[in-house]
């Protein structure tokens, strides 16, 4: 589980990851981390996948303060390609600042594009046996910022795999 937060200037201001907790303990930790920032949060963009959807529902259930701020991000090949390309453009144009986090840098380093000549599609993922949770949370959070949901100051991406 990863929480990645961007402010209203496109700067990543927070990154926290934790995996050695039970699902319910992870939800409690997420709520505990985010509730103090509630008045500064515009949107909490949660990845909707097999594990992410129940987490999204549980965050809404566990926190009345956060429930109206939670939105889902449906991960598909098309949506993932879009958020990867948007982040690449932002990095090239220096429109985004990421924290100097070793785990995030490592995951971005091995996050891989694979081209399928039969379908002519490009897919992005970590190689077999490696994780891309930090990358996905950061991409989703930046997408929330980029899409104009940054009314307040913080946009949060949450990824659970």
Instruction: Report d(CA 53, CA 13) in Å as an integer.
Output: 25
**Helix, coil or strand: residue 107:** helix
- Give the pLDDT of residue 50: 74
Predicted local distance difference test score (pLDDT) of residue 154: 43
pTM, 2 dp: 0.89
Question: Which spans in 10-152 are helix H?
Answer: 23-34, 52-62, 77-92, 102-110, 133-144
- The pair of structure tokens assigned to 49 is 């996948």
Is residue 146 within 8 Å of 86, Cβ to Cβ? Answer: yes
pLDDT in tens, the chain (161 residues): 899 999 888 999 999 998 889 989 999 999 999 999 998 888 889 988 877 888 889 999 999 999 999 988 999 999 999 999 999 999 999 999 999 999 999 999 999 999 999 999 999 999 999 999 999 999 999 999 888 644 344 444 544 44
Q: Establish how many alpha carbons lie within 13 A of residue 114's alpha carbon, considering only the half-sphere containing its beta carbon.
A: 12
pLDDT at 49: 80
């Amino acid at each position: 589980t990863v929480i990645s937060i961007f402010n209203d200037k496109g700067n990543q201001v927070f990154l926290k990851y934790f995996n050695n907790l039970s699902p319910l303990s992870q939800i409690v930790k997420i709520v505990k981390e985010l509730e103090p920032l509630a008045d500064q949060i515009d949107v909490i963009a949660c990845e909707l996948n097999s594990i992410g959807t129940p987490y999204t529902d549980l965050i809404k259930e566990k926190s009345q303060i956060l429930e109206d701020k939670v939105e889902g991000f449906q991960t598909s090949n098309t949506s993932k390609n879009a958020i990867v390309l948007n982040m690449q453009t932002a990095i090239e144009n220096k429109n985004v600042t990421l924290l100097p986090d070793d785990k995030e840098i490592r995951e971005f380093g091995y996050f891989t594009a694979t081209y399928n000549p039969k379908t002519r599609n490009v897919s992005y993922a970590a190689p077999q046996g490696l994780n891309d949770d930090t990358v996905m949370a950061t991409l989703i959070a930046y997408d929330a910022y980029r899409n104009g949901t940054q009314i307040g100051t913080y946009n949060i991406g949450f990824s659970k795999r």
